[in-house]
Chains A and B, each alone.
Chain A
Amino acid sequence: MKNQYIKRIYKCGLCLLLVTMSVSSCKKLDEFNPTSLSEQNVLTNFAGWKAYQANCYTGLFGSLIGLQYGLVSEVGTDLWTFPYNNHNQYKDIMAYEAFTTSSGIIKNVWDFAWGSIESCNKTIQLSTQLTDGAANAADIKTLVAETKCLRAYYYSVIVAQFGSVPLIVIDEPLKTLSPERTPIPQIYTQIIADLTAAAADLPVLPYQNNAARVTKKAALGLLARAYAQGAGEGLTENGKSYWQRAKEVADDLITNKGTYNAVMYDDFAKVFAAGNNRNNAEALFTAYGLNPYDPSYDAFTGNSKPNIYLHYYPKLDDAFGTADLFKRSVNSNTSNGYYGRLNQQFVAPTKYLINCFNATYDKRWENTFVTAFTNYSGVQAISNLGSGAPSPANVTYAAATVTLTAAICTKYGIDASHVGEKIYPYADVNARNASANATWQYIPSTWPKGDYSGSTSVLQTIPNANVHPYPLAQNEDRFFVYLSKDPLTAVDKKARRYVTLNIDDLFDPSDATGSTYKAVSAGNGLPNSALANLFPAMMKFNHNFDGGWLGGNFQQKLGNIMIMRMAEVYLIDAEATIHTGGGAAAAQYLNVLRQRACRNPADFNVGTGMQLTTATINDVFDEYARELCGEYSRWALLKREKAFESRLATYNATAAANFNPSIHYNRPIPFSFLSQITNGADFGTNGY
C-alpha cells in the first residue's frame, strides 16, 4: 500500500515536473528579428542619417515629373487642347469639365508632392543630434541645406496647386487625423525661409559631385520662382513686394552667373541636345534620370519611370494604319524603335501656341515640335547583331522604304506624278543591350539626304535625333508626312512626294480661338479624313539617345528632366520687371532668349521682330510659351497673373466654357485624403 502510494507520488511528481519545465522554459517570448533595424540603430550616426537624407530625393524623378504633374502643371491653359477623339481623357484638368474631388491625376500630384516632406522634416530635425566621428559640420550643413531646398520645392508645388494646406515642418510622433489649414502667406514665408537658408549654405558645385543633388543656383532659381508665385498672392516681405524680391534674386543670378556656375547656352538647340541631357549646363535643378548601363538602374525607388513624352504625340497608327506609308506601328509596346510608343494622343498645341513661333527665324519651333514624320531602319543593329537584333531594330533599309503606288497617292492626296517614287527612312537605329532589367537601347543616327546606299558608313549623328530639317524641302524624300506651319499652296504641295498638310487646316474653323481640332469625319477637308488625327508633337521629353530608352517599356524614358533652367530666370526677371514698372528693361531679358533662338544670327534685329525694344505682359506670356511650353510652368503662370479668364476666352474656348474663377484657381482636395481624415467636412474640398 505504502509502496503504491510512493509510486503514485512519483508518478504525479513526474507530471508536475513536466508541467513546471514547460512553463518555465516557454514563458520568454522575445522576438528575434535579424532583418530590420531600429531608428535608434541607424539614424543617430552620420552615415545612417545621410542615407536617410538621400531618400528625400525619391519623390523627384518619376513621380513629380511624370505624366501626372507634367499635365496638371501645363494643361487647362492657353497652350494646350484636346486632339481629335480625346475630349473625354483628362477633361477635368484640360477643360475644367466634370472636375471633382475624385480626379485621379490630382490625387497623384497631391500624394507625390507631399510624399517626401516628412522625410525632409525628420532629416532636418535629426541633423543636430549627430555626434559620431564621421559627422563633420560642413557636410551636415550642406545636406541640411539640400533638404530645405527640396522641402521648399515640394511645398511650392502644393501651395501653387492647392492654396492653403496644412504646413507641416516638424515630425511629431503623434499625427493628428484632423489637420488644419495654414494661411497661404505663412506657407510662402516658410518656403522663402527654406530657400534663403539653402541658397546661403549650399555649395556651387554639387555635394560629392553628384549631379542629382541641388546646388546654390537651384535654391536661388527656386527662390526667384517662389517670390514670383507668391507675388501673385499679393505678398510682401519687409515692405517690399514679392515682385521686387523676385527681380532682385533673378538679377543676382543673372549678374553673377559665373559665381553660381549658372549658364545660358548660346544656342537653343543645345538645351535639348542629347549630349547635354545628363549634365545640362543650363539646368538649375534637375530630376536626374536613370542610367540603364549602371547597376543603380535597378535601385530605382520612385513610383514609376516618367511616361510624359508620348501624351504630346499623335497616334500615327490612327492616321495612317501600318499598311502603306507608315511601316512600324507605334500603337503597341516594343514595336517602333525610333518614336517609342505613341498610343495616347492626349495633348495637342492650341493655335495660339503654334502661332507664337515665327518659324522663319525662330529655331525653337523645330526644336520643340515634330512636324514631319518618318520611317526608320535598323541597318546598324542588323549589321552588329545579325539575327540577334531585337525586333524593334530588325528593320532593313528596304523594309523602311516606301514605293508610292497609285493607290497610296489617291488615298493621301499625293500628286499622281510621284507614283513609283520612293520615300526613304530618315533615321537608322543601333541596338545595344544595356542591362538585365533595362534591356535594349535604340540609338539613332540619320541618313543623309540623297544617299540611298543603305550603308552604315554614310550615317550621320545629329545633336537631337527628333529634330528634322526645317522647313522641309520640296524635294525631301525621307519623310512621308509634313505639317506645314507656313501655308503651302496646292501647286507647292503637288511638287512634294509626301503627304502635305497646312497646320491651319487641321483646326476646326468654327472655333475662332483655335482650341478645336477637326474630327475624323467624311468631308473634313483633308485629303484623307483620318489625317485629322495629326498635330505637331511636342518632343522635349522624348529622350532618343543611348541611355534614354527603356527597352521593356517604350512608354517610359530614362533621361534627365529639368525642373528649372536658367532661361526661366530671365523670364521671371522680365515678368517681375513689368510688374515693378519697366517695359524696356523687361525686353532686354527677353532678348537674351530671342537672340539665341535665331536660326541665323543676322536675324536678330528689330526688323524681323526677333529683337524687342520694349515689352508688355503679353510679350512675356508669349515668350514663356515659346521657351518653356511643356516644362511644368504654364498653369502656375496663369494663376499668379490671374489670367485664366482672359487668356482662355481668347485662346482656348474649349477650356473657357467651364472655367469658374471662384473654384478653379485651386485644385480640388482629393477625396481619398478627405476620407482619411476625421474632419473632412471642415477641411473642405476647395469648392469642388
Chain B
Amino acid sequence: MNLTLRTKVFLRSLIRGASPLVGLLLLLSVQTHAKTRPGYNYTHSSFTGKPAPITVKGTVYDEKGGTIPGANVKVKSSGKTTVTDVNGAFTLALPSGDETLIISFVGFKTQEVAVNNRTAIKIILEPSTSSLDEVVVVGYGTTKKRDLTGSVVSVKSDDITARPGPNPIESLQGRVPGLDITRTSGQAGAGVNIQLRGTRSFKADGTPLFIINGLPGDYATINANDIESIDVLKDASATAVYGSAGANGVIIITTKSGKAGKMNIDFNSYYGFNGWSVLPKMLTGEDYLRAKRDAYSYVYDAANSKWVKSYTVGSVTTSAQWQSPADDPAIFGAQRYALYQQGQFVDWPGVLLRKNPATQNYSLAASGGTEATKAYVSFNLQDENSQYRGDDYKLYSTNIRLDHKIKNWVSVGANLQASYVVRNKAQDKLENAITTDPLIQPYNPDGSLNTVLGNNVYNLLLDYQPGVYENLDNNTKVFFNPYIELRPIKGLTFLSRAGVHMDYSNTYRFDGIGSVSYTYANANIAKARVNQDRYEGLQWENILTYNLKVRKDHELTFTGVTSYYYNQNNKTEMNQSNITSNNFEWYKFTGDVNTTAITSYTMSKSFGLIGRLNYSYKGKYLFSASMRHDGASQLYETNRWDTFPAFSAAWRISDEQFMAGTKNWLDDLKLRGSWGITGTAKIDPYSSVSNVESANASLGGTTIPIYRNSSFLTNPDLAWEKSTATNLGLDAAVFNGRINLSADYYNTNTNGVIFAVALPSIYGTYTPGTNYQTNINIAQTNNKGIEVALSTRNVVTKDFEWSSSISYSRNWERVLKITDNTDNVANTGTSYTLMLGQPVNSFRNFKINGVWQIGEEVDAAAFGKRPGDLKVDVPGMTQLAPGVYTKQAANGTTTYYYANLTAAQKFNPALTAANSLYNYSANDYEPVGHNSPDWSLGFQNHFKYKNFDLTVYSYMRWGQTISYNLMGWYQPNAFAINASPSRTFPAAFNYWTPTNPSNDFPVMDFTSSSSTLTGFSGLNFVDGSFFKVKNITLGYTLPTNIGKKVGLQRFRVYSTITNPVVLAKSHFLKDYDPEMNGGLAYPLTKQLVFGLDITL
C-alpha cells in the first residue's frame, strides 16, 4: 500500500534524523522535572492582629526582579480591582486582613495571595509557561491559543530578536515546522526564500502572504525590535479566509504598541563583521602544473582502446605533447610559460573581496500611553556591507502606531511603516572570477589594470576604479493604515481599516568610461540607465465581529469581512549612451538619438466577501466554518469569481471528566482537524487576454512597424489554482508546561495547477526560438507531510536553566498530472523538469554512474566511449555479456547494442551489422534529485546561568539536490595552449587519468570539453544536505537591582556568531556552504556581532 510505504519511509527518516535527539530530551526533561521544584517565593513581613480594615501597599515584580506596571490586582471576595502604577506598586483598602488578592498580567501566571494582615506585600509573578492563554492572531481576528482549531504557530518577540540580522524572517528559519526558509546569497540586504508545506504551484514564487497589522506589508524592511509577534497560519482553515491569496500560507506580523501606564525607551544595537566566507581552493602553483601536464600526457589509441604516451598507425606516429618536464614550455605556450616561471599565481577572490566588512544596527523605540491613548514610535538604522567593495545596504526605517479611544464605543488609530533603503551593488561575477586563469595578472607591469584576461573573462577590478561604475538603488516604502473601530452594542465590533501602500524605487546604473561593461560588453561606449518603478496600492477592509454567549456554555462568534485591494504599477526606464564624461553619470540625459525611454503599466483589483462562524461548547468542543467569495480582475470577465470554504474542529480531551486523573501531570491535550480550500494568487495581470504587440523591425535596412501575437495566447477559462487541504493536529503540554508538543499531519491536493504550456514550434514561435505559451489550469500536485514541534525545559533551578526546542518537518511532494498524457516537461523559466511522481522542483538529467575505468573497455565500446569518459546510466539497458547490451523500446522492439558482432551473435544470430553503438542522449535523462528538502530540523538549546545566557541554534536540511555551478567549470580544454579562455577549477576535484581511477570527474585531456564528454551536464547535481550551527549567542544581563541604581530597567550585552560550523554531506561540496543552493555570486558569510540592549 502506498500509505504504509510512505509511513515507513517517514519513520526511517525520522529515526535517522531526529529521534535520538527527541528521546534524549524527553528523558532529560522528565528526570529534571522530578528533581526540581518550581520555586516561587514571596516575602513575609507579617504581624498578627484582629480583623479590621487595613490598607495594603504592594509591589508586583517579575521573576527577574523588574516591576510590572499595569498588572491587575483584584480582591477575591468583592471583585474590587486596581491596576499597578508605573513602578509596579498598588494600594488597596481592604475590609479586613483576611482577604485574598488575585494578581494577573498578560504573560504571567495568575496568582492568588492571602493578605494575612500584612500591609506591605511583595508579589513575584511567575511567567506563564503553559502559554495556552497567549493571544494568537488569526485572519481577521484573534483567539487564545487554547481555542485554536487550525494549525497556527506563534513566535514571540524574544525569539525574533535572538538572532540579529537584517531580515527578521530569517530568524524563523527552523523555528516553525513546515516553513522552509533559506538564504542563498551573502549580498548585503539579500532576501530569503520562503516555502510553506512544499511546493504546490509550478510558478516559481511560493512566498506566503505577509500581513502586517491587518494589511499586506513588507517584512524585509521591518525592524525586528518592533515586532510583538509573528503568527504563521499553515492549514486551510486558517488561511482560506484569505481566499485566492492564501494557499502559500499567511504570515501575520503584529508590531508593538504602547501600553497604558508604562513608558519605555528601548535602545538596541549591534556592531560586527561580515566575512570569512569559505571558498573552494582553486588549482594554482604545482597543482595547476600537474593538471596541465595531465591534460597533455596521453593520447588515445583507438585501435587498441588505450590511453598511451604515443602510438603508431602505419607510418604515422601520434605522440602526447607532454613526455617530460622539458615539454612544459610547449604545453603552456611561450607567453604563458613565462608567466608560469614567474610563479605569480593570482588569488582572485583575495584580490576581489574584502576580508571582514562591518555591519551595524541601531534602533531606538519609545512607547507609552494612557487608558485612552497609546503610542509607539521607533527609528531604525541599519548598515550592512558585503564582501565586495562598494556593495552595501543602508536601511532607515520608522514604525509608528497610535491608538486612541475617543469614546467608550469609538476608537481610532493609525499605523505607519516607512522605510528608505539605499543599496550599492557591485558586479557579482565571483564564480567567473575565481575560475579565472590564475596565471594572468590583474595588473599590467605599469600598474594599470589588465583588461585581457581571456574571452568573456572580465577584470572586475575595473569597476573598483573611482567614478567609473555605479549601480545604486533607493527604495522608499510607506504603508499608512488608519482605522476606526466601533463597538455599538455588547459583543459587536465593527472595524474599518483603509490603507495606502506606496513603493517608489529608483535604480541608477552607470557603466562609465573604463568600467567592466564599457571595456567588454558595450564596445567602449559609456552608458547610463535610470529605472523608476512606482507602485501604489489601496486597501480597504471592513470587519464586523459579533460575539455571543448563550447560557454560559455556548459561545458564538460571527465575523463578516469585505476586503478590497487595488494596485497599480508604473515603470519607467530611461537609457543614455555615448556619455562623454564620467562626471555626468545619470545626471545628464541629452534627449537626442542616444536617449531612449520605455514605460509600462499594470494594474489589478480584487474583492473578497468573507463570513466566518466560530462556536465553542464549554471551551471543550470547538468548531469553525468560513467562506470567502473572491473576485479578481486578472481573470476573464465570465470567470472572475470563486469561493473558498473551510471547516475545522477541535476537542480538548484534557478537559473531559474522564481525564481528571491525569490533571497532575497533563496540562493540556487537544486534537484538531480541519479541511479547506485555498487559492494561489500568482496570475499575472492581463494574462487572460490575447493581445497583439506592436514592435519595430528592420527590413531592408529600414525600420518598419510590425505586429506580432503576444507571447501568451488567450485562455478565457483560466482560474485560480485551488488547494484542498486536510490537517490533523495534536497539542499536548505535560508536567506543568515543562514539555510542550505540537504535531500536525497534512495532506494538500492542488488541482488545476496553472501550467504555461509551451506550444510546439509547428504552431509558430513568438520570436525566433521562443515558443508561444498558454496558461492552463491542468496540472495536479500533492503534498503530504508531518510536522513536530517540541519544546522542553530540561533543567530549571534557581541559577541554572536549560531549555530546548526542536522543530521537525518532513514533506512528501508529488506532481500527479502535468497535462494529459505528458511526462517529463521542462518547467519554463526554471531549471527544473516536471515529472510525474516527483516533487515540482526536480532535476532531470543524465544520471552518472562514475567514469568508465580501465578494464571496462569492452563495455564502454558498446556506447562508443573510452575509459575516462562518463558512464551514463541508461534506463532499461540490460547487459547480456561484456560489451553486449539490449534495450527495449516503448513499442516493445528490442535492440542490441555492441561493438563486436561475434560477441553479440551469441545472443542473436540474426544480427548482421558490424556494430551497433548506443549513443547517450537526452532520451536517457532520469530524475536526479529535487531541490526541496526531504526534511529539516531546527534544534535550539538555551542555557542560563545566573545573568549569563547562551543560545546555540543548529539547523539541518536534508535530501535536497542542488545544481552546483562550479562542477561545470571542470573543463579540460581550458588547459589547452590557446584555450579560449584559460581557466582553472577547484583543487579538490578528483579527475580521472589513466593512473588515477577516479569516479568523480572524467578524463583530463585537453581535447575534451563539457560538450564532448557526453553526460557532463549530469555532474552538476549534487546532494546538498547539510548541517550547520547557525548561531551561537552569549549574553549577559545586568541584574535588575544594579541596573535600577543607574536608571536602567534592562541592560544586556551579547555576542553572536553566525554560521560558525557548516557540514555538507557530499564530498563535492568541499569549502562550500550548500545553503547557497549551487550558486556562488555572493558567498554566504560568517558573521560576528557584539550587541547592546538597553531599556530605560
Co-assembled chains A and B: yes
Q: A673 contacts B488, CB within 8 Å?
A: no
Q: A19 contacts B701, CB within 8 Å?
A: no
B522-561 near A? 1/0 per residue, CB < 8 Å: 1111000000000000001010100000000000000010
Q: Which residues of A contact B702 (CB under 8 A)?
A: 210, 291, 294, 296
Whether A212 contacts B761 in the complex (CB less than 8 A), given A58-B706, A88-B1007, comes out as no
Question: Once the chains are docked, how many angstroms separate the CA of A278 from the CA of B700?
Answer: 9
Question: Once the chains are docked, how many angstroms separate the CA of A317 from the CA of B603?
Answer: 55
| Contact of B819 (CB < 8 Å), options: A299, A334, A678, A679 | A678
- Among residues of B, the one whose C-beta sits closest to the C-beta of A333 is B455
Q: B318 contacts A521, CB within 8 Å?
A: yes
Q: Tell me the residues in window 417-459 of chain B with beta carbons closer than 8 Å to chain A beta carbons.
A: 452, 454-456
Specify which of A33, A116, A675 lies most central, judged by the most chain B CB atoms within 10 Å of its CB: A675
- Among residues of A, the one whose C-beta sits closest to the C-beta of B769 is A303
Question: Once the chains are docked, how many angstroms separate the CA of A295 from the CA of B595?
Answer: 12
Q: Tell me, rounded to whole Å, the shortest Cβ–Cβ distance linking B894 to chain A.
A: 16
Whether A51 contacts B762 in the complex (CB less than 8 A), given A213-B700, A390-B524, comes out as no
B503-532 near A? 1/0 per residue, CB < 8 Å: 000000000000000001111110000000
Q: B761 contacts A673, CB within 8 Å?
A: yes
Segment with Cβ contacts to B, from A9-17, A454-462, A538-546: A9-17
Q: B455 contacts A332, CB within 8 Å?
A: yes
B749 in the interface (beta carbon within 8 A): no
B593 in the interface (beta carbon within 8 A): yes
Question: Once the chains are docked, how many angstroms separate the CA of A444 from the CA of B699?
Answer: 26
A523 in the interface (beta carbon within 8 A): yes
Segment with Cβ contacts to A, from B163-171, B618-626, B918-926: B918-926
A1 in the interface (beta carbon within 8 A): no
Q: Tally of A-B residue pairs with Cβ under 8 A?
A: 327
A505-529 near B? 1/0 per residue, CB < 8 Å: 0001110000000011111000000
B362 in the interface (beta carbon within 8 A): no
Q: B690 contacts A675, CB within 8 Å?
A: no
Whether A110 contacts B761 in the complex (CB less than 8 A), given A38-B692, A211-B700, comes out as yes
Question: Once the chains are docked, how many angstroms separate the CA of A182 from the CA of B764?
Answer: 17
Q: B690 contacts A523, CB within 8 Å?
A: no
Q: Tell me, rounded to whole Å, the shortest Cβ–Cβ distance linking B252 to chain A.
A: 22
Q: A175 contacts B891, CB within 8 Å?
A: no
Q: Tell me, rounded to whole Å, the shortest Cβ–Cβ distance linking B64 to chain A.
A: 45
Q: A343 contacts B701, CB within 8 Å?
A: no
B731-763 near A? 1/0 per residue, CB < 8 Å: 000000000000000000000000001111111
Q: B921 contacts A88, CB within 8 Å?
A: no
Q: Tell me, rounded to whole Å, the shortest Cβ–Cβ distance linking A37 to chain B.
A: 5
A169-201 near B? 1/0 per residue, CB < 8 Å: 000000101010000000000000000000000
Q: A675 contacts B700, CB within 8 Å?
A: no
Q: A288 contacts B699, CB within 8 Å?
A: yes
B825 in the interface (beta carbon within 8 A): yes
Question: Once the chains are docked, how many angstroms separate the CA of A52 from the CA of B706?
Answer: 5
Q: Which residues of A contact B820 (CB under 8 A)?
A: 678
A582 in the interface (beta carbon within 8 A): no
Q: Tell me the residues in window 665-720 of chain B with beta carbons closer than 8 Å to chain A beta carbons.
A: 685-686, 689-710
Question: Once the chains are docked, how many angstroms separate the CA of A291 from the CA of B700?
Answer: 8
A634 in the interface (beta carbon within 8 A): no
B316 in the interface (beta carbon within 8 A): yes
Q: Tell me the residues in window 1071-1087 of chain B with beta carbons closer than 8 Å to chain A beta carbons.
A: none
Q: A318 contacts B977, CB within 8 Å?
A: yes
Question: Once the chains are docked, how many angstroms separate the CA of A62 from the CA of B700?
Answer: 13
Question: Once the chains are docked, how many angstroms separate the CA of A52 from the CA of B321?
Answer: 58
Q: A55 contacts B542, CB within 8 Å?
A: no
| Contact of A166 (CB < 8 Å), options: B631, B757, B762 | B762
- Among residues of A, the one whose C-beta sits closest to the C-beta of B335 is A323
B821 in the interface (beta carbon within 8 A): yes
Question: Once the chains are docked, how many angstroms separate the CA of A278 from the CA of B605?
Answer: 52
Q: Tell me, rounded to whole Å, the shortest Cβ–Cβ distance linking A495 to chain B.
A: 28
A283 in the interface (beta carbon within 8 A): no
B32 in the interface (beta carbon within 8 A): no
B459-502 near A? 1/0 per residue, CB < 8 Å: 00000000000000000000000000010110010101000000
A552 in the interface (beta carbon within 8 A): yes
Q: B522 contacts A552, CB within 8 Å?
A: yes
Q: A114 contacts B564, CB within 8 Å?
A: no
Q: Tell me, rounded to whole Å, the shortest Cβ–Cβ distance linking A286 to chain B.
A: 9
- Among residues of A, the one whose C-beta sits closest to the C-beta of B455 is A332
Q: Which residues of A contact B524 (CB under 8 A)?
A: 390-391, 439-440
Q: Tell me the residues in window 1014-1030 of chain B with beta carbons closer than 8 Å to chain A beta carbons.
A: 1014
Q: A331 contacts B704, CB within 8 Å?
A: no
Q: A15 contacts B494, CB within 8 Å?
A: yes
B577 in the interface (beta carbon within 8 A): yes
B979-1008 near A? 1/0 per residue, CB < 8 Å: 011000000000000000000000000011
B306 in the interface (beta carbon within 8 A): no
B387 in the interface (beta carbon within 8 A): no
A300 in the interface (beta carbon within 8 A): yes
Q: A101 contacts B921, CB within 8 Å?
A: yes
A17-59 near B? 1/0 per residue, CB < 8 Å: 0110011011101111111111101110000100110110111
Interface size on B, residues (CB 8 A): 116
Q: B764 contacts A294, CB within 8 Å?
A: no
Segment with Cβ contacts to A, from B105-113, B195-203, B208-216, B632-640: B632-640
Q: B919 contacts A42, CB within 8 Å?
A: no
Q: B768 contacts A303, CB within 8 Å?
A: yes
Question: Once the chains are docked, how many angstroms separate the CA of A114 from the CA of B455?
Answer: 33
Whether A675 contacts B333 in the complex (CB less than 8 A), given A51-B706, A110-B761, A333-B455, comes out as no
Specify which of B318, B602, B695, B760 lies most central, judged by the most chain A CB atoms within 10 Å of its CB: B760
B664 in the interface (beta carbon within 8 A): no
Q: B697 contacts A29, CB within 8 Å?
A: no
Question: Once the chains are docked, how many angstroms separate the CA of A520 from the CA of B1007?
Answer: 12
Question: Once the chains are docked, how many angstroms separate the CA of A677 from the CA of B318?
Answer: 48
Q: Which residues of B contact A57 (CB under 8 A)?
A: 697, 699
Q: Tell me, rounded to whole Å, the shortest Cβ–Cβ distance linking A653 to chain B.
A: 14
Q: B698 contacts A297, CB within 8 Å?
A: yes
Q: Which residues of A contact B409 (CB under 8 A)?
A: 11
Q: Tell me, rounded to whole Å, the shortest Cβ–Cβ distance linking A182 to chain B.
A: 11
Q: Which residues of A contact B488 (CB under 8 A)?
A: 7-8, 11-12, 14-15
| Contact of B923 (CB < 8 Å), options: A12, A26, A101, A166 | A101
Q: A551 contacts B633, CB within 8 Å?
A: no
Q: Tell me, rounded to whole Å, the shortest Cβ–Cβ distance linking B501 to chain A.
A: 17
Q: Tell me the residues in window 589-640 of chain B with beta carbons closer than 8 Å to chain A beta carbons.
A: 593-594, 600-607, 609, 631-634, 637, 640
Q: A299 contacts B763, CB within 8 Å?
A: no
Question: Once the chains are docked, how many angstroms separate the CA of A297 from the CA of B593?
Answer: 13
Q: Tell me, rounded to whole Å, the shortest Cβ–Cβ distance linking A646 to chain B.
A: 19
Q: Which residues of B contact A679 (CB under 8 A)?
A: 821
Q: B765 contacts A111, CB within 8 Å?
A: yes
| Contact of A678 (CB < 8 Å), options: B692, B696, B821, B1007 | B821
| Contact of B762 (CB < 8 Å), options: A25, A179, A210, A332 | A179
Q: Tell me, rounded to whole Å, the shortest Cβ–Cβ distance linking B429 to chain A.
A: 17
Q: Which residues of B contact A413 (CB under 8 A)?
A: none
Q: Tell me, rounded to whole Å, the shortest Cβ–Cβ distance linking B229 to chain A.
A: 28
A588 in the interface (beta carbon within 8 A): no
Whether A115 contacts B768 in the complex (CB less than 8 A), given A213-B700, A288-B700, A294-B702, comes out as yes
Shortest 3 CB-CB contacts between residues of A and residues of B: A118-B764, A11-B488, A100-B921
- 17 A-B pairs with CB atoms under 8 Å apart are A15-B544, A23-B562, A31-B605, A36-B691, A37-B692, A37-B693, A42-B707, A88-B1009, A100-B920, A119-B764, A179-B760, A210-B699, A212-B700, A303-B769, A436-B578, A510-B314, A675-B826
B residues sitting closer than 8 Å to A (CB atoms) are 299, 313-319, 321, 333-335, 409, 452, 454-456, 486, 488-489, 492, 494, 496, 520-525, 540, 542, 544, 560, 562, 564, 577-578, 593-594, 600-607, 609, 631-634, 637, 640, 685-686, 689-710, 757-765, 767-769, 771, 819-822, 824-826, 864, 890-891, 919-923, 977-978, 980-981, 1007-1009, 1011-1012, 1014
Apart from the given pairs A12-B492, A48-B692, A98-B864, 11 other A-B contacts in the complex at a CB distance below 8 Å: A19-B544, A29-B605, A33-B689, A57-B697, A85-B1007, A296-B698, A299-B696, A331-B455, A343-B980, A508-B316, A675-B824
